[in-house]
Amino acid sequence: MIHTKIDTETQADIKIFGKIDGFFNQFKIATSLHQCGIRKRHGHSVRKLILAIFTLPFVGQNFFRGIATNDTLAFGKDAAYDVLKGCQSNWRKLLLVIGSRLYGFLNRLTDEDRESVLIVDDSPYDRSRSKAVELLSRVWDHSNGRYIKGFRMLTVCWSDGYSCLPLDFSLLSSADAKNRLCDNRKSMDKRCCAWQRRQEAVVKAPENLETMVERILAAGVRAKYLLMDSWFAMPATITALAKNIDVIGMVKKTPKVHYEYNGHSMDVKAIYRQIKKRRGRAKILASALVTLKGGQSARLVFVRDRRKTDWLALISTDLDLSNEDIVRIYGKRWDIEVFFKMAKQHLKLTKEMQCRDYDALVAHTTIVFLRYMFLAYQHRIETDDRTFGELFYACCDEVSDISFVESLYRIMTLAGNELKKLGQYCEKTATAFFDAVMATALKCSGLLEKRKLASNS
């Protein structure tokens, strides 16, 4: 029984390695590593090093057991750390390049009428037991309602409502120097990626957010809306982001944030008191058109809170959307919460390795995000029937090439063959009938083509 179990585990590992290796080959990750400045002058290839780190959670190992004390590997922990700590390594570019390739694959399987969205949120990167990590600071944990030691992981994901891809992130320290427990201790060229990452880490999240969204859209990723929770949905932030993409977000019920409604500056509670609500147990209570700072128009939608006898407010810069669609689309924001839970609980985001170097933390976070992309890709190809390779597209091309007239001709031919088998068959009458049907079909087909040409012109 013991030998059988070992053999089963070995076969499972081989299968996992094969899928991961195929993922690396299909999306040309080795080439992207080189293009993003993640290189080695000598020794083992970067692909082999990254592949070994990438595989760790799928075989039930952490960095210490799988890399540092693993005698079966041809390289040691120093080689792995050197790759992760590189100052010239552009990990953000790597994540966006691979993410845009996966987006191209998934977008072909998404209907044009389905709303693809970008989702913005942050999550605490907990390093409570650390003392000497670069840029370690006191950050606020929303879930626990207290300060912890660590970073704020600002993340932007793309989602079509079925698959979610993390495309960009930033490990933010505190913008207030008093809350930073450790400063930058690494000497580097100010032109390198490592210096830029550290400058970005001490800037407030809204200032980073606009640049991140612009970078994703410039990479060719298309989305109809940007979703955010109440922490980011401030009038100034919404106005800045709405220049590039329509925004849908949750609104804070605070007297400090004002909107222009009916020529007066009011907070959201005052607006709610003035508007007429629906009677009964309606889910959507009311809506109102407001103006944000900078002249940006938006719609406030007030929704009943099912958890308690209260209400919630959503805001949308797309005035053409109905209230129901605004609520439905905002529901896709939950995908990023699933991603955060998956990354921390199963992909070992904060527990796999304990490194004090800020560049190594960014590198490891990028690898964790790539693991999630791998899982999203595997889930799609194994559960979506439309992803059975080129066979699906070949079948689609064949079906689209067969016109209505040709399909009708084939049906009529089969019907004629069946009539011949009955024995009582008048060939002249049947032929005349079929010819009349085909002539009418050809005439109708010609009219349809003329209408299409006229509408296109």
Q: Is the pLDDT of residue 8 over 50?
A: no
Contacts 24+ apart (CB under 8 A), 172-175: 172/122, 172/139, 172/200, 172/201, 172/202, 172/203, 172/205, 172/208, 173/135, 173/136, 173/137, 173/201, 173/202, 174/137, 174/138, 174/139, 174/202, 175/202, 175/203, 175/204
**Residue 1: band (very low, low, confident or very high) from pLDDT cuts 50, 70, 90:** very low
List residues bridging with 225 in a β-sheet.
117, 246
What is d(CA 189, CA 121) in angstroms, rounded to the nearest whole number? Answer: 31
Q: Is 362 helix (H, G, I), strand (E, B) or coil?
A: helix
* Residue 422, pLDDT score: 62
Cα 318-319-323 angle, rounded to 5 deg: 95
Mean pLDDT of 157-169: 95
Most confident stretch, 84-93, 272-281, 391-400: 84-93
Structure tokens at 18: 């094969």
Evaluate if residue 22 carries a pLDDT over 60.
Answer: yes
Written as one string, the DSSP assignment of 147-181 is EEEEEEEEEEEEE-SS-EEEEEEEEE--SSGGGBS
Separation CA 229–CA 119 (nearest Å): 9
Q: What pLDDT shows up at residue 5?
A: 42
55 burial class (0-12, 13-18, 19+ CB within 10 angstroms)? middle
- Give the separation between CA 136 and CA 356, rounded to whole angstroms: 9
Q: Which residue has the higher pLDDT, 117 or 74?
A: 117
Mean pLDDT of 98-113: 88
Write out pLDDT tens, residues 39-60. 887 788 999 999 999 999 998 8
- Pick from 99-113, 183-197, 333-347 the range whose average pLDDT is largest: 333-347
Nearest to 357 by CA among 189, 188, 186: 186
Percent of the residues in the chain that have a pLDDT greater than 90, as a whole number: 58
Q: By three-state DSSP, how is residue 263 classified?
A: coil
The string of pLDDT tens digits covering residues 380-403 is 888 876 665 544 554 444 444 445
| Amino acid 3: pLDDT | 41
Evaluate if residue 426 carries a pLDDT over 70: no
Mean pLDDT of 299-307: 90
What is the separation, in whole angstroms, between the first and last Cα of the chain? Answer: 73
Coil/strand/helix, residue 105: helix
Q: What dotted CATH number matches 91-387?
A: 3.90.350.10
Q: Where are the alpha helices (DSSP H) in 61-192?
A: 63, 77-84, 91-107
Whole-angstrom distance, CA of residue 434 vs CA of residue 167: 58
- The percentage of residues in the chain with a pLDDT greater than 70, rounded to a whole number, is 84
Phi-psi region of 311 (alpha: psi -120 to 50; beta: other; left: phi over 0): beta
From its phi and psi, is residue 217 left (phi > 0), alpha (psi between -120 and 50) or beta?
Answer: alpha
Q: Using CA atoms, how far apart are residues 139 and 173, in angstroms rounded to an integer?
A: 8
Q: Which amino acid is at 300?
A: L
Residue 27: the pLDDT is 94
At 76, is the pLDDT very low, low, confident or very high (cuts 50, 70, 90)? confident
pTM check: above 0.95: no
For position 318, what pLDDT does the model report?
96
148 in Cβ contact with 364 (< 8 Å): no
What are 187-194's contacts with CB under 8 Å, separation 24+?
188/87, 189/87, 192/87, 192/88, 193/37, 193/87, 193/88, 193/89, 193/90, 193/91, 193/92, 194/86, 194/87, 194/88, 194/358, 194/359
Max mean pLDDT range (139-143, 231-235, 429-433): 231-235
Asked which of 16-30, 136-150, 220-234, 380-394 is least confident by mean pLDDT, the reply is 380-394
